């Protein structure tokens, strides 16, 4: 089961480390800017489920997109893959930037 979290809590999790930060936007968007340490698996790709299945399922995973819609769909699929600890960053990277936090 996933948990919705706000940008501030997401920032604290990222700073604490020991989690996967997963960006599910288009690769071009991820290459332009991303959250610190984020990896990319585009949710719209046919092989998203296969690629996500290769991530460490016992490691916490923070999932985000542009505004929070695509990441929620991705999380629903990841729950079916038996991820143990999923976090959904409400508001996505747009909210992150609105709060004044830096991207890479």
Domain holding 18: CATH number? Answer: 3.40.250.10
Domain that holds residue 22: 2-98
Give tens-digit pLDDT for 52-87: 999 999 999 999 999 999 999 999 999 999 999 999
How far CA 78 is from CA of 8, 17, 33, 54, 59, in Å, comes to: 23, 21, 24, 11, 13
Note the pLDDT of residue 46: 81
34 within domain boundaries: yes
87 within domain boundaries: yes
- Displacement of CA 60 from its chain's centroid (Å): 11
Count: domains in the chain: 1
CB 53 within 8 A of CB 81: yes
104 within domain boundaries: no
47 within domain boundaries: yes
12 within domain boundaries: yes
103 within domain boundaries: no
Give tens-digit pLDDT for 23-46: 999 999 999 999 999 999 999 878
64 within domain boundaries: yes
90 within domain boundaries: yes
């Amino acid at each position: 089961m996933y948990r919705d979290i706000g940008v501030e809590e997401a920032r604290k999790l990222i700073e604490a480390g020991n989690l996967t930060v997963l960006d599910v936007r288009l690769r071009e968007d991820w290459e332009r800017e991303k959250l610190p340490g984020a990896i990319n698996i585009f949710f719209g790709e046919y092989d998203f489920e296969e690629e996500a299945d290769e991530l460490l399922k016992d490691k916490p995973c923070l999932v985000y997109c542009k505004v929070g819609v695509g990441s929620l769909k991705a999380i629903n699929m990841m729950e079916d893959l038996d991820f143990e600890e999923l976090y959904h960053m409400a508001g996505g990277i747009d909210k992150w930037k609105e709060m004044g936090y830096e991207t890479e």
